[in-house]
A and B are shown apart, each in its own frame.
Chain A
Amino acid sequence: MGRVLFATGSLLLAARPAFAMHISEGILPFSWAILWYLALIPFLVLGIRRLNAMAREDLSMKPLVGLLAAVVFIISCMPIPVPTAGTCSHPCGTGVAAILVGPLVSVLIAAVSLLIQALFLAHGGLSTLGANTLSMGVVGSLAGWATFRAARRMGGSLALSGFLAGLLADWGTYAATSLILSLGIRGDAPLWPLFAKVVLAFLPTQLPLGVLEGVLSAGMVTLLYRKRPDLLLRMRVITDKELPENA
């Protein structure tokens, strides 16, 4: 009951004007907005197929993915003041989602979270949903997942791998947002100077926030390992040998 009240309270607290990084409604020209939607479709289809396959194997994965979507929704609209820049922004949450359920399902989670934010919080926009999902969902998830897997293969601990995954998922998301924005608004201006300008403008806020996202991701993964290693095993984050009783 306490958890349900907490979830309800969190949702209520989130219902405020958001201070976010998503590309707002109307910023991208129509042709670019459509292109990003088209680029997103294959990832969404693969995400739905992967989720169905996971649910066929283990039905309890569906509510778990639902809970993870709620976590990503809250994390990605939680404004955090960054004193290094004097602005507010938020972590993405797709890094940790990709670690736990894989990058394809994480894309689906990001799409649902961003759709709800666009509909109810005026956070992002419906015309820019494709672009925002591509940066936060596709690039963030793939960067986080690939980094985590690579760090684990190189012998990194869960905490270190989780940290790097969160960090690069965040920075990857903002790099992708910068590129998408630059492509959309540049007109006749050269692309790369504009891209560098957007990246530099994001840096003071996102550099430390990426570190925070890394710490958050590492904390969530290690907490799960300590409290519920069986869930990590079920989600194939760790192997049998890595269970605390076998380690």
Chain B
Amino acid sequence: MPDRKRKFKILLLHAVMLPTLLFAFYFFSLAPKSWEGVDEAVVEKIAKEHGREARDPLIDPGSGDLLLFGFLLAGTVGGFIAGYYWRQLTRKE
């Protein structure tokens, strides 16, 4: 039985890894390497072909230091809460 389980695991590993490696070797040479996100490269591109285009966000988060400030504030509050509950969270039972 353990042998069958081991064989199954090896088979499963190959079933996942082999197609991935094949794709890796195939696309390494052909990829345009624009490094854009798949939301642009796939979702928005195909949607545009079918007459749907992405809009600006309903709430424009703006740019520059304001966003950073927001995340700093959120990180500080989140960090405080996590720190406050840390002992309770990591108490071994």
A contact set with B: CB distance below 8 Å: 1, 3-5, 7-12, 14-15, 18-29, 59-60, 63-64, 66-67, 70, 79, 81, 83-89, 118-122, 125-127, 155, 160, 164, 167, 177, 181, 184-187, 189, 194, 197-198, 201-208, 211, 214, 228, 230, 234
Contacts and interface: CB of A to CB of B under 8 A. Distances in A.
Contacts of B55: 24-26, 125
Contact of B56 (A25, A60, A64, A202): A25
Contacts of B23: 84, 203-204, 207-208
Interface in B4-47: 5, 9, 12, 16-17, 19-20, 23-24, 26-28, 31-47
Contact of A18 (B26, B34, B37): B37
Contacts of B68: 12, 15
Contacts of B57: 25, 118, 122, 125-126
A125 B79 CA distance: 26
Interface of B: 5, 9, 12, 16-17, 19-20, 23-24, 26-28, 31-47, 50-61, 67-68, 70-72, 74-76, 78-83, 85-86, 88-93
Given A11-B75, A12-B71, A88 B37 contact: yes
Most chain A CB within a 10 A radius of its CB, from B26, B44, B50, B92: B50
Contacts of B54: 24-27, 125
- Interface majority SS (helix, strand, loop, mixed), chain B: helix
B28 A84 contact: yes
A70 B79 CA distance: 11
Closest 8 CB pairs of A and B: A19-B37, A26-B55, A86-B31, A86-B33, A8-B75, A4-B79, A24-B54, A63-B85
A27 B39 CA distance: 11
A96 B60 CA distance: 31
Contacts of B89: 60, 63-64, 67
Contact of A89 (B37, B60, B88, B93): B37
Contacts of B43: 21-24, 27, 177, 181
24 contacts: A21-B37, A21-B39, A24-B54, A59-B88, A60-B85, A60-B91, A63-B85, A66-B78, A84-B27, A85-B31, A87-B37, A119-B61, A120-B70, A122-B61, A127-B58, A160-B9, A185-B46, A201-B45, A202-B38, A203-B23, A204-B27, A206-B38, A208-B24, A228-B90
A84 B26 CA distance: 8
Contact of A66 (B76, B82, B83): B82
Contacts of A64: 89
Contacts of A15: 67-68, 70-71
Nearest to A26: B55
